[in-house]
Amino acid sequence: MSISADNIENVDDPQKKVSNQIQFVDEEGGLVRFDNGKYSKNITGKIGDKINVKIPAGYTAQSDTPIYFTNDNKVHVIKVDAQEIENTIIFTDGYYDEIKRITIKGKTNHVMNIPSEQIPKGYRIFGFYDKRFSAIEKEHKIQLTEVYTKDYVTNVVVLKDVNDREITRSEIQGVEGSRYDISDLLLGKVYKFVSNDRDVIIKSEGTIIYVTVKKDEKKNIVIFNDALGNQIIQKEVYGGIDERIELRGLLPEGYTFEKDQNDYFNIKNDNYKVIVRLRKSNTRNKFIFKDINNKVIDEKNIDVQIGSYFDVKKIVPKGYVLKDPNSPYVLINDENKVLEFRIVKQQVSSHTEGNNSNSVGNNNSNNHNNHVEIQINLVDKDTKEVLRSYIIQGIHGQKINVQGIEKYDFVNDKDRNVILNKSNKSLNIFMSKKKNIGTVTKYNSVISTTGVTILYNDDGKMVGNRSLGKNSSWKIDKMKAVNGTVYYRVATNEWVKANDVKEYTIVNSVIITKDGTFKYLYTSEGKMVGNRALSKNSSWYSDKIATINGEKMYRVATNEWIKASDIK
């Protein structure tokens, strides 16, 4: 049948070959599969040529209007109606042996509503079913379970390990003297039965039946590699399938995890190998101290811990101070790094002004006569409490930087510097508490942006010249809450609001979609993807887990997520 959508649009060169896409949508707005199971089909042809499309089995087109090839990447949406068809239901018992089969009618892809009178007497449907009418798969098996009667008794099955420790207990029901399969009572894939017999005999009301199980441990091999991929060491670990293993306690001495490396993994089948990337936790950095003329005054090689803040003041050459005394700490985040610092002589500030500056060092007698000592008192402007006092020295007329206090600001910006004057012996400088910047805690995780994301500095003010790009991932190392708003730190003095990003866990796993119908996909904003879905019982690689709109989801492609409830 030739069918189509709208009139031909303004097109490019009519001789040009283009690619168009066909999609079918049913009367309820849902995507309809092609007979090959896909939700769309790409076709090529010349602009203006008629497109011949085969309608999926079990549907009829709502319109016979032809469609034609038009501009490249055009999507033709064809509306179809579901036909009424017949399907066969095969009822089976717990061993999948057939009990009865029936024929029912309904519209293609609509959920089957099985009349209760059609279900064999003495049975009910086991668990949840979501069978839909299909023009291709016309037979469907539905498992039944026996309905409890007054002749049924209740027993308790207790699973215990080989050390007689109770693992779990479950109630079972059945006719006294009958056999009951307890395979489903096992805890996932972690345990297995000691005996090969999976059945127990139902006994009198209230009987407790003890069954021994043991851990079905698998050996996995953890290989620790350095940044170049060279093996450092490998270790064997044991556990039940999917059991979480913490890696931190297995680290070789002197190493820590790479920035994007998980610190755990889940046990897989026997002899499964896990690669863990490490970097040295301690490194030797070179500290170079130069004066204002770029002359090297001293060099020191110091062993420091990666990820820590190092106080440079401790190793400044004798007789010198840092040019910027307000920033004495440096974050150690690289191996074998060379770090340079500007220093000035202790008696002379690096910011020298005034007519007397040219005489510094030229006349010792003149320097002695012009030598000034002033006591600086940093005072809380509200409580009038002296927060800190210290002595500064220099030459009359020099400008000296005042060292502030963490969590306080200068009331007057001009007080950040003072001009040394022989007539002043002390100076009060007023400070005010910074606005609430929240309690900062360590918090190692990974976030992803959904759009261009605003950055904030430590004081909560917007960073005007930088932002995070859309759909980009960032490692965070700290978290804080300010007036009910949670922030994550992505860099020094750069934070994002938790509500502006998605936090996720890095995984390396394959997921399998559940039985039933196709599974919808969602964007990182929680919006349904209109032109794609995943087929039932299909396998997909996932690299991230996130909570979106309150639901746990797995990422299967760029900006495409599937609900955890839709996978096995």
In a domain, 481, yes or no: no
Q: Do the Cβ atoms of 544 and 557 come closer than 8 Å? A: no
Last residue of a domain, one of 301, 320, 345: 345
Q: Same structural domain for residues 362 and 429? A: yes
CA 501 to CA 61: how far, in whole Å? 43
Residue 58, Cβ density class (10 Å: 0-12 exposed, 13-18 middle, ≥19 buried): buried
Cα–Cα separations (whole angstroms), residue 521 to 22, 202, 511, 512, 549: 19, 46, 14, 14, 13
How much is the pTM?
A: 0.30
Same domain, 380 and 365: yes
Strand partners, 528: 522
Q: Are residues 176 and 242 in the same domain?
A: no
Asked if 314 and 328 count as a contact pair (C-beta separation under 8 A), the reply is no
Q: Would you write out the chain's pLDDT as a tens digit for each of its 568 residues? A: 434 333 333 445 567 788 999 999 888 777 888 888 888 889 999 988 999 989 999 999 998 888 998 887 888 989 999 999 999 999 988 777 888 999 999 999 887 878 778 888 777 777 556 678 888 889 988 888 776 555 778 888 888 888 887 777 777 877 788 888 887 776 555 678 888 777 889 899 889 999 988 877 888 999 998 877 888 999 999 887 777 888 888 888 878 888 778 888 888 888 888 999 888 777 778 889 998 888 899 998 887 766 566 778 888 998 888 887 665 667 665 656 788 888 888 754 334 444 443 333 444 444 446 778 888 888 888 888 878 777 777 788 888 888 877 778 888 888 888 888 888 888 899 988 876 666 778 877 788 887 778 888 877 778 766 777 777 778 888 888 777 788 888 888 888 988 888 888 877 788 888 888 888 888 877 888 766 788 888 878 887 888 887 788 898 887 788 999 999 8
Instruction: Flag whether 30 is in a domain.
Output: yes
Q: Which residues, 6+ apart, have CB-to-CB distance to 543 below 8 Å? A: 506, 507, 508, 555
Number of domains in the chain: 7
**The tokens of 334 are what?**
């690289």
- Enter the DSSP assignment of 369: H
The dihedrals phi and psi of 116, each to the nearest 5 degrees, come to -60, -30
Q: What is the residue range of 244's domain?
A: 218-280
Residues 545 and 526 placed together within one structural domain of the fold: yes
The amino acid occupying position 473 is S
Domain shared by 295 and 275, yes or no: no
The side-by-side arrangement of strands in the sheet containing 551-557 is: 462-468, 453-456, 494-497, 485-491, 473-482, 441-449, 501-512, 539-548, 551-557, 560-563, 519-522, 528-534
Q: Are residues 243 and 204 in the same domain?
A: no
Contact present, 215 and 161 (Cβ < 8 Å): yes
Does residue 440 lie in a domain region? Answer: no
Residues 362 and 428 reside in one and the same domain? yes
Rounded to whole angstroms, the Cα distance separating 494 from 481 reads 14
**Beta-bridge partner residues of 288:** 299, 340
- Specify the length of the chain in residues: 568
Euclidean distance between CA atoms 505 and 490, whole angstroms:
16
CATH number at residue 332: 3.10.20
Question: Starting at the edge strand that comes first in sequence, how are the strands of the sheet with 139-146 ordered?
Answer: 98-107, 84-92, 139-146, 123-125
Q: Are strands 231-239 and 218-225 parallel, antiparallel or unpaired?
A: antiparallel
Residue 483 located in a structural domain: no
Same domain, 362 and 417: yes
Looking at the structure, tell me whether residues 74 and 91 fall in a common domain.
Answer: no
| 169 falls within a domain | yes
- 488 part of a folded domain: no
Helical (H) or strand (E) element with 368: helix 364-370
Query: What CATH number is attached to the domain comprising 166?
Result: 3.10.20.470
Question: At which residue do the structure tokens 């018992």 appear?
Answer: 93
Q: Is residue 453 part of a domain?
A: no
DSSP state of 40: -
CA 150, 152, 154, 159: dihedral to nearest 10 degrees? -160
Does some domain include residue 11? no
| CA 495 – CA 497 distance, rounded (Å) | 7
Same domain, 428 and 362: yes
DSSP string of 286-350, one letter each residue:
EEEEE-TT--EEEEEEEEEETTSEEEGGGGSPTTEEESSTT--EEE--STT-EEEEEEEETTS-S
Report d(CA 331, CA 564) in Å as an integer. Answer: 39
